[in-house]
Amino acid sequence: MFSTRLRPLQSYWPFSLLGGSGLDFMSVTYFKRYRMEVNLYRRRIAPVRLPLGYRLVPWSPALVDAHAETKYHSFRGEIDAGIFHSLSEPHGCHELMAGISSGEGFVPEATWLVETENEFGEAESCGTIQGVKASPRCGAIQNVGVVLPHRGQGVGAALVSAALLGFQQVGLARAYLEVTVQNRSAVQLYQRLGFRRTKTIYKSVEMAYG
């Protein structure tokens, strides 16, 4: 997932530093991310459309585990799990979800699961999104996750639209999110939903090599 070869800063820029022991190397990789924003004031949000057999599930405190598990299955093996270590482990996803949902700025109206039925006819979560209030007038979307077999069917778009409608419902005039530039399909999705790039961020990740 992490390259040790020098590449242009426009994508990511890894380099190695000799550790203090003289035996270990520390590789530092910078990942380029966009902050993208959308104006919600009097904006008509794209309708929430899900494929047949999928349904949105509103927030409930009883769903912390379901959100955490879906988050883990959505991000494991993906580039963001390497950038944000908590997304790479079930326990980390649970702690992250518990922290978001118990925070002062948590917005239940902008927090959703998507469920479908598995081959045994049992409910199975396959998408998750959370919303928080970043300021009195601005919401922040957290961790848009769709489990791999369910991608490309409009689940992510439905989650984002549902979250934006939730932000509007509680009176927020703007919303933003952050996305890793290499995740081109996500960047394109957010652009289609009205988000525009407002800031470029370089996120550093350190890895030790013996």
Does residue 6 have a pLDDT over 90? Answer: no
Which residue type sits at 155?
Answer: V
Does residue 122 have a pLDDT over 70? Answer: yes
Binned at pLDDT 50, 70 and 90, residue 15 comes out as very low
Does residue 13 have a pLDDT over 60? Answer: no
Residue 168 to residue 20: CA distance in whole angstroms: 51
| Per-residue model confidence (pLDDT) at position 24 | 59
Confidence (pTM)? 0.86
Average pLDDT for the chain: 88
Task: Calculate what percentage of the chain has a pLDDT beyond 70.
Answer: 86
Q: Is 141 exposed, middle or buried (0-12, 13-18, 19+ CB in 10 A)?
A: buried
Question: Domain extents for the chain?
Answer: 33-200
Domain 33-200 classified CATH 3.40.630.30?
Answer: yes
Does residue 17 have a pLDDT over 90? Answer: no
Residue 196 to residue 101: CA distance in whole angstroms: 27
Q: Do residues 25 and 209 lie in contact, with contact meaning Cβ atoms separated by under 8 Å?
A: yes
| Per-residue model confidence (pLDDT) at position 120 | 86
* The residue count for the chain: 210
Binned at pLDDT 50, 70 and 90, residue 208 comes out as low
> DSSP assignment, residue 10?
T
